[in-house]
């Protein structure tokens, strides 16, 4: 069975992706900065690799067919961490994936990353980092999916999705659990074409929203 590398596996979305994939019998390589944060996860198909994304983490990609980059600097960090994680680490992850001949790279980006200058002023540095990381992946030659979720919430999963920007900006959101489920879906979808998709909670199924 194929192995999937999850970069940022101890984050709020990453941890849910990891457990869901383990529950489905997938072989998962979880890359984290602190292995203790995954001590409560169970699965005979789980390998955990401890590494700092500001250093060399290329060894984690060995024998991994799929890569999910769901790492993020977090809202409480400064511009330095945004550059190091959301931009530089994401770009290096794409380079490492290409070196190891990964079949599919799934990037968790952000709504607004397509046009950072149109976003709120306080968000523009973050959106620029996401934009440049996305562009690097697009130019890498890898088979890719770039997922740009709306504002993230801690609500329960709805199971409903849409890729269309809602008319009401207040509805341009999606639960972290729904994002996690979308990422697991994308791993198993075996899509051949590259894709960039916004994603919000809506009334469609994943197949319809991510067609």
Residues belonging to the active site = 126
Q: Which residues contact 159 (CB under 8 A, 6 or more apart)?
A: 178, 181, 205
User: d(Cα 175, Cα 179) in Å, to the nearest integer?
Assistant: 6
Bridge partners, 148 (sequence order): 198
From the number of C-beta atoms within 10 Å of its C-beta (0-12, 13-18, 19+), residue 171 rates as middle
Whole-angstrom distance, CA of residue 52 vs CA of residue 132 = 21
Using DSSP's 3-state secondary structure scheme, residue 24 falls into coil
Q: Quickly tell me which residue has 């994936």 as its tokens.
A: 97
Extended beta strands in the chain, E state: 3-7, 27-32, 46-50, 66-69, 104-108, 144-149, 151-153, 161-162, 173-175, 195-201
């Amino acid at each position: 069975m194929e192995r999937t590398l999850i970069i940022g596996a101890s984050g709020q979305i990453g941890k849910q992706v990891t457990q869901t994939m383990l529950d489905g019998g997938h072989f998962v390589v979880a890359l984290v900065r602190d292995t203790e944060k995954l001590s409560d996860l169970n699965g005979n198909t789980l390998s955990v690799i401890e590494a700092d994304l500001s250093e060399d983490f290329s060894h984690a990609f060995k024998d991994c067919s799929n890569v999910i980059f769901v790492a993020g600097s977090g809202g409480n960090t400064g511009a330095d961490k945004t550059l190091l994680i959301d931009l530089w680490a994401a770009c290096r992850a794409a380079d490492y994936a290409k070196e190891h001949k990964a079949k599919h790279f799934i990037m968790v980006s952000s709504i607004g990353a397509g046009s950072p200058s149109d976003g709120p002023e306080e968000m523009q540095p973050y959106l620029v980092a996401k934009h440049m990381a996305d562009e690097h992946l697009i130019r890498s030659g890898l088979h890719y999916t770039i997922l740009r979720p709306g504002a993230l919430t801690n609500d329960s999963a709805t199971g409903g999705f849409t890729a269309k920007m809602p008319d009401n900006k207040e509805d341009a959101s999606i639960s972290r659990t729904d994002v996690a489920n979308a990422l697991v879906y994308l791993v198993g979808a075996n899509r051949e074409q590259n894709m960039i998709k916004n994603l919000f909670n809506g009334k469609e199924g994943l197949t319809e929203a991510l067609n």
